[in-house]
Structure 1
C-alpha cells in the first residue's frame, strides 16, 4: 500500500509550560505531519519599511545648496569695484531671492492647503484601516481568553506573540461553540472573521491606495496576500479522506507571522494617525483600538475537555501508522 500524504497546517509552537502533557503529546504528533502550506504556493513578501533617511536628506539639500551657491556668488559680485559686475550681482541676487521665496514659500503654502483639503480623505482611510485592525486584534484576544484563560498578555503585541499563539493553537477546540449570534463553532467563526478581514483589506486598497503611506499600503497588501486556508475546507477534506485529525486550532492553521506583523504595524499607524487628525481639527474619528486587560478564567469555554486532546492525538497516531504499512 502506498503511503498517503496527509495535508496538515504548519504549526509553530512556543516553549510554553512543559508540565502540560497534552500539549507535549500534540506537538510531538503534529511535527510528524506534512505541512499543509506545501499544497499551495506561499511566497514571503519582504516589506522593507525602513525609509532611506540619509538619501532623502541628501536629495533635500541639493536645491538649497544650489541656491546658497548662487546667492553667494551674486553677493560677491555686488561688492566688486567694477560697476557692471556690481549691477549684475544686484540683479542676480534679487532674482535668486525671489526664486527662493517662490519655490519654498509659495510651495509650502500650497502643500498646507492641499493637506487641509485631503483631511477628510485621510480620515476615511484611517477609519477603514482602524476597523479592520480592530477585527483582527479582537479575534486573537477572544481566542486567547476563551481557550488559554490566563491574564498573562498585557498588550496587543503580547496577545499575538509567538508564545501566545502557540498556547492558543494547543488549547482551543474548534468544535466548541463560540459566543456569537448566530450560533456557530469556533472553526466557523474564525473562518468568517478572517474572510471578513481579507475582503475589507481588498476594499481598503481599492478605495485608498493612492492616499496611503507606502508602509501602510504594504501592510494592508500583506493581509490580502497572506490569506489563511479555510478551516472548513480542511474539515471537509478530512471527512472525505477519513483523516481523524485532532480538533485543536494548531492542526488547522499555521502560524502566519507575516499577517500578524502587518496587523500590528497597522495598529501602530492608527495610533499616530488619530493623534495627527485630531490635532488638525478632525474630531469625529473614532479612537484606535485600546487594549484592556484580560480576566483570568479557570474554565475557558473553548478549551479542550480533560483528556480529549490526548485521546484524539493517539487516534491520529494510530491512523498514521496504518497508512505507513505496505
Structure 2
C-alpha cells in the first residue's frame, strides 16, 4: 500500500508543484471562479450567464498558468541539470571529506574497547563520563558525544597516518583550511544553482560559530599554542584542551550529507548517471585498545599537574602583589 501511495505521489507531483508554486495567483483566481459558479448555479438574474462565462474563462486561465509554469520548469530543469550535478559533486566532496576525517580521527585515537582503568582515569580527570560507544552511522560519528571522546583521547604531539609525516598540531589546521576553501568555492560557484536551504548550510559552516569558522575552528589551535609558549602556560596536549564545538555545528555536516543522498536520487531520476555516492555508512572499526594517537594517561596526568602548579604559583604571586609582600 505504501509503495502504491508513493507511485501515485510521484505521478501527481509534476502537477501539484506548479499549483503550489503559483498559489499567489491561482488561489485568488480559484476563489473568483467559485463566486462566478455560485452566480450561475443560483441562477441570479442578470448574473447567471455572466457567472457561467466568467467561470469557464477563469478556469482556462488557471489551467494555462499551471501548464505554462510547468513547461518553463521543465525547460529550466533540462538547462540546469549539468550545473546541479556539478554543485552536487562539490557539496558531496566537502561533506564526505569532513566525515572521513572524523572517521579516521576516531580510528586513530579512541580505544576500542577502552580498558576499565582507562575509563576510570578519564572520568576522574574530566569529572564527567567519556563516551565508550563505537559509532555505526554518520549521525553517531558526528554526535557531540563521539567528538568529545576524540577530543579527550587525541594526542596533538602524535603523528596521524598521513604523508609526509607531521603532527596533529600541523595536520588539523591544514585539513580545516582545505575544508574551508572547498566551502568558499561552493558559495562562489553555485550561488544561483543550490537551493536556498543548502546554500545556507554551506554558509553556516564558514560563518558565526560554524565548524570551519576561523575564530571557532581548528585554526585557533595555532594561536593558542603560540600564546601558551609566550606565557609559559603548560596546557595539556590533548585536542579537548584547545578546541570545542557544538551539536548545531556538527548537524550542519549531517544535513549536507542527507541533502546529497536525496539530490543523487533526484538527479538519477532525471537521467544523470555516473554520480559518485555520498557517505551512506561509515566503515567498521577494528578493535584496538590502544590506538597510535591516543594520549598516554600518565603523560596527560603530568600535564594536568603542571597546570595546577602553574595556577597555584600565579595565585600566590597575585596574592603577594595585592598584599605588598
Q: Which residue pairs with 2:138 in the alignment?
A: 156
Q: 2:73 aligns with which of 111, 114, 122?
A: 111
Q: 2:163 aligns with which of 172, 177, 181?
A: 181
Q: Structure 1 unaligned runs (5+)?
A: 1-56
Q: Distance in 1 between matches of 2:232 and 2:95?
A: 37
Q: Structure 2 unaligned runs (5+)?
A: 1-18, 113-132, 318-325
Q: 1:75 to 1:215 in 2, by over 3 A?
A: closer
Structure 1 residues 47-126: aligned runs within 5 Å: 63-75=25-37, 80=43, 88-89=50-51, 91-126=53-88
Return the offset for 1:281: 0.9
Return the offset for 1:88: 3.9
Q: Which residue pairs with 1:199 in the alignment?
A: 181
Return the offset for 1:63: 4.0
Q: Which residue pairs with 2:267 in the alignment?
A: 277
Whether 1:312 and 2:303 are equivalent positions in the alignment is yes
Q: Which residue pairs with 1:137 in the alignment?
A: 99
Aligned residues between the structures: 269
Q: Quick one: higher RCO (CA 8 Å, sep 6+), 1 or 2? A: 1
Structure ranking higher in helix proportion: 2
Q: Distance in 2 between matches of 1:93 and 1:309?
A: 80
Greater shift after overlay, 97-106 or 308-317?
97-106
Whether 1:237 and 2:199 are equivalent positions in the alignment is no
Deviations 1:114-158 (A, max 9, x none): 122111111111111111111111111111111103271111111
TM-score of the two chains, using structure 2 as the length reference = 0.75
Contact 1:188 1:231 in 2 (8 A): no
Return the offset for 1:87: 5.3
Taking only aligned residues, the RMSD between alpha carbons, in angstroms, comes to 2.5
Q: 1:265 aligns with which of 251, 255, 261?
A: 255
Q: Which residue pairs with 1:287 in the alignment?
A: 277
Q: Which residue pairs with 1:14 in the alignment?
A: none
Return the offset for 1:178: 1.0
Contact 1:147 1:172 in 2 (8 A): yes
Return the offset for 1:307: 1.0
Q: Distance in 2 between matches of 1:88 and 1:170?
A: 78
